[in-house]
């Protein structure tokens, strides 16, 4: 295999610290596996003293298989593993841990959910809340943050601290550790027991780390301990592709590597063998706007290709139809479905595209679970209002919406399975202001019976005051109310094509069944267009890539305020752009839900001129 000069230098490197800056498509896996081979066969390093760390089990397996293929299947006892696997091995030796002592992810969610219920927290989006809290607990542990100095993004501090402490107490009672504890405990063990540290330093004399830009502070602290005193640490990564800040990964760790290791050599793998010159040039124009990064010149190893196509469409409907046209054109040119990927910022962005792909029977698979908007708790509230208008008098339905917005009606008022407005008024006969609210609800319900689905959603939101409830809830959950309003806007828009509730409900049912089927088939379907969030697309490549929703508020995401957040969003866009091998399309819209929106600043940085609208 022919290497370029930078690759040769990296492969031939023997001792001490080295940082390899590996741009997209620069052959980093090849460099790592060839260097391991070189250490063993040319520098006579004992294979059992070599440790190669990756971030996922799949990546570790692929790296190991690539290495085995390279050495012709000869047996070399090199250790390939994830951070968690390596650190668990250390704890297993010290504390006799077994797999039973590790808390499974589904159990972790179960524990948090039970705690939320025990604390009687009024949380509607329980699934999202549990997931977000798990992420925050992980962040606190991974960054070794003092809990008293931590500001929660999802609930009041006192509430977060209670959940955090109750969760840790449960782990102690059950004699289990979660993945984050494993990292912290490993650090504590190695700092307190120099004898154990020395044993593992003697074991792992050469450490190679892939995707170093994704490392967290506690992972890095352990690695520094293991690598010392010889510091044979070989890191490979790209600070421009650091996109997991929410998991505790920080590009600053990689940026500070030369300060931590002043003797470290630095090599840039600056040739992108994946993408055409136009794609590389356009992506470079975007990423150079980040201030916190290593300056690097990336060149394309590929021949010239087509210019990056950038278009702004009128609205999401036009954007969706345009994407279908692009797909059709590529199929005519001989591309397979699996050669094409559509990338987006969050998994709620492609709802309209998913509906059209299902309608036209175009095969696709999603890297992420396809979200069903009709199963969102906001949608369920709206649908419940409509069900009551259509005659439902079920106690469960009334309990769901009765205080959304606040009507000061207690659960105790519903003492039978069937609800009667007369009985409800009778229950509150001594409270005139509550009776007035019950009468107003009955009036609103009667009005809903005469409306189209679109009109009904609009009336529930603004006439009944559901948007006021959403604002109150968003403030409690420390969310931007715009996020929830947008989902309601989307729900309202999805109902616009249906004249009756029956038609809309039929559509919902068909769509939900199809989504369920798709989610099951995605596991086995290979020849389909890939639909993926930008995060999930990392490490993958496609002949043609279409980025949809390149608008301000989507990418960069509306939650990104700080400079470091904007830079992370820009890196995410850069990752999405550099998935493309031959063709790249970037699309934005001029309006969403009837409101004017701006093209993403990243799209403009890539060369789009807004006047071309």
Q: Say whether pLDDT at 182 is over 60.
A: yes
What's the confidence (pLDDT) of residue 144? 79
Strands 580-589 and 542-547: parallel
**Interval 558-570: pLDDT, tens:** 878 889 999 999 9
Question: What are the residue ranges of helices labelled H in 175-315?
Answer: 179-192, 194-203, 217-227, 251-255, 257-260, 277-287
For residue 429, CA distances in Å to 423, 425, 435, 438 come to: 10, 6, 7, 11
Strands 340-344 and 529-533: parallel
Torsion angle of C-alpha atoms 510, 512, 514, 520, degrees rounded to 10: -160
What's the confidence (pLDDT) of residue 432? 92
Q: Say whether pLDDT at 478 is over 90.
A: no
What's the confidence (pLDDT) of residue 613? 44
Cα distance between residue 311 and residue 297, in whole Å: 27
For residue 224, CA distances in Å to 156, 187, 228, 395, 438 come to: 36, 10, 6, 60, 65
Which of 439, 443, 449 shows the shortest CA–CA distance to 407?
Answer: 439
Cα distance between residue 567 and residue 562, in whole Å: 9
What's the confidence (pLDDT) of residue 526? 64
**Interval 21-58: pLDDT, tens:** 999 999 999 999 999 999 999 999 999 999 999 988 98
Question: What three-state secondary structure class fits 481?
Answer: helix
User: DSSP labels for 497-545?
Assistant: T-SSHHHHHHHHHHHHHHHHHHHHHTTT--SSEEEEETGGGTT--EEEE
**73: pLDDT confidence band, cut at 50, 70 and 90?**
confident
Least confidently predicted of 267-271, 425-429, 480-484: 480-484
Which of 347, 276, 286 shows the shortest CA–CA distance to 601?
Answer: 286
Q: Say whether pLDDT at 517 is over 80.
A: no
Average pLDDT score over the chain: 92
* Element of type H or E holding 237: strand 233-237
What angle separates helix 316-332 from helix 351-359, to the nearest 10 degrees? 50
**Interval 366-400: pLDDT, tens:** 887 777 899 999 999 999 999 999 999 999 999 99
CA dihedral for 13, 14, 17, 22, sign (positive or negative): positive
For residue 470, CA distances in Å to 157, 202, 372 come to: 21, 58, 20
Q: Say whether pLDDT at 521 is over 70.
A: no
Q: Six-digit token pair at 399? A: 């309990």
Cα distance between residue 484 and residue 467, in whole Å: 9
What's the confidence (pLDDT) of residue 190? 96
Percent of the chain with pLDDT over 90: 72
User: DSSP labels for 402-448?
Assistant: TTSS-----GGG--SSB--HHHHHHHTTT-HHHHHHHHHHHHHHHHH
The torsion angles phi and psi of 265, rounded to 5 degrees, stand at -85, 155
The conformational region for residue 508 under phi > 0 = left, psi -120 to 50 = alpha, else beta, is alpha
Contacts 24+ apart (CB under 8 A), 126-130: 129/154, 129/155, 129/477
Contacts with 513 (C-beta within 8 Å, 6 or more apart), sequence order = none
What angle separates helix 28-41 from helix 57-70, to the nearest 10 degrees? 50
For residue 235, CA distances in Å to 20, 34, 178, 232 come to: 6, 14, 26, 10
Contacts with 470 (C-beta within 8 Å, 6 or more apart), sequence order = 378, 481, 484, 485, 488
Q: How far is CA 399 from the centre of its chain?
A: 33
**Interval 406-450: pLDDT, tens:** 999 998 999 889 999 999 999 999 999 999 999 999 999 999 999
Other C-beta atoms lying within 10 Å of the C-beta of residue 72:
6
What's the confidence (pLDDT) of residue 525? 57
Cβ distance 558 to 263 under 8 Å? no
**166: pLDDT confidence band, cut at 50, 70 and 90?**
very high
- State the distance between the two ends of the chain, measured CA to CA, in whole angstroms: 47
**Interval 537-590: pLDDT, tens:** 998 999 999 999 999 999 998 878 889 999 999 999 999 999 999 999 999 999
What's the confidence (pLDDT) of residue 522? 57
């Amino acid at each position: 295999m022919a290497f370029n000069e930078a690759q040769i230098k990296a492969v031939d490197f023997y001792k001490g610290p080295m940082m390899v800056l590996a741009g997209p498509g620069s052959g980093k896996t090849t460099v790592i596996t060839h260097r391991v081979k070189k250490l063993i066969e040319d520098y006579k390093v004992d294979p059992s003293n070599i440790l190669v760390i990756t971030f996922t089990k799949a990546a570790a397996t692929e790296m190991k298989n690539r290495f085995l293929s390279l050495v012709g299947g000869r047996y070399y006892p090199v250790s390939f593993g994830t951070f968690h696997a390596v650190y668990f091995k250390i704890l297993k030796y010290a504390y006799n841990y077994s797999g039973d002592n590790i808390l499974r992810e589904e159990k972790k969610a179960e524990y948090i959910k039970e705690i939320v219920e025990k604390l009687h927290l009024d949380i509607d989006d329980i699934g999202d809340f549990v997931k977000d809290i798990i992420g925050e607990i992980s962040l606190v542990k991974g960054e070794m943050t003092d809990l008293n100095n931590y500001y929660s993004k999802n609930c009041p501090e006192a509430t977060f601290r209670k959940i955090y402490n109750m969760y840790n107490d449960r782990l102690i009672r059950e004699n289990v550790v979660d993945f984050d504890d494993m990292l912290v405990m490993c650090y504590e063990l190695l700092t307190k027991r120099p004898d154990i540290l020395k044993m593992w330093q003697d074991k792992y004399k050469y450490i190679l780390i892939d995707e170093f830009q994704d490392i967290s502070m506690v992972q890095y602290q352990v690695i520094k301990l293991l690598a010392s005193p010889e510091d044979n640490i070989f890191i490979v990564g790209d600070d421009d592709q650091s996109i997991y800040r929410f998991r505790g990964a920080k590009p600053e760790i990689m940026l500070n590597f030369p300060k931590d290791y002043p003797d470290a050599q630095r090599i840039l793998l600056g040739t992108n063998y994946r993408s055409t010159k136009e794609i590389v040039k356009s992506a470079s124009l975007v990423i150079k706007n980040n201030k916190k990064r290593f300056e690097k010149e990336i060149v394309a190893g590929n021949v010239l290709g087509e210019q990056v196509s950038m278009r702004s469409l009128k609205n999401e409907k036009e954007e969706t139809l345009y994407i279908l046209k692009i797909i059709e054109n590529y199929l005519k040119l001989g591309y397979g479905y699996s050669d094409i990927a559509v990338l987006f910022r969050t998994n709620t962005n492609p709802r309209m595209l998913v509906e059209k792909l299902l309608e036209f029977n175009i095969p696709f698979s999603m890297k992420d679970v396809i979200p069903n908007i009709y199963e969102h708790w906001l949608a369920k509230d709206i649908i419940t209002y409509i069900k009551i208008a259509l005659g439902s008098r079920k106690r469960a339905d009334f309990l769901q919406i009765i205080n959304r917005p606040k009507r000061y009606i207690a659960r105790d008022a519903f003492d039978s399975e069937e609800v009667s407005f007369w009985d409800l008024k009778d229950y509150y006969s001594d409270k005139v202001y509550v009776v007035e609210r019950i009468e107003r609800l009955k009036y609103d319900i009667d009005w809903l019976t005469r409306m189209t689905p679109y009109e009904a959603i609009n009336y529930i939101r603004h006439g009944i005051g559901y948007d006021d409830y959403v604002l109150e809830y968003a403030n409690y959950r420390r969310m931007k109310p715009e996020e929830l309003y947008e989902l309601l806007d989307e729900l309202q828009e999805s109902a616009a094509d249906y004249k009756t509730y029956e038609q809309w409900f039929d559509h919902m049912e068909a769509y939900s069944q199809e989504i369920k089927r798709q989610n099951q088939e995605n596991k086995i379907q290979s020849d389909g267009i890939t639909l993926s969030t930008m995060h999930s697309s990392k490490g993958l490549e496609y002949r043609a890539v279409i980025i949809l929703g390149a608008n301000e508020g989507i990418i960069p995401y509306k939650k990104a305020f700080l400079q470091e957040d904007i830079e992370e969003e820009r890196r995410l866009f850069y990752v999405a752009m550099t998935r493309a091998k031959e063709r790249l399309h970037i699309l934005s819209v001029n309006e969403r839900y009837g409101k004017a929106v701006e093209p993403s600043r990243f799209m403009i940085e890539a060369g789009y001129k807004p006047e071309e609208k």
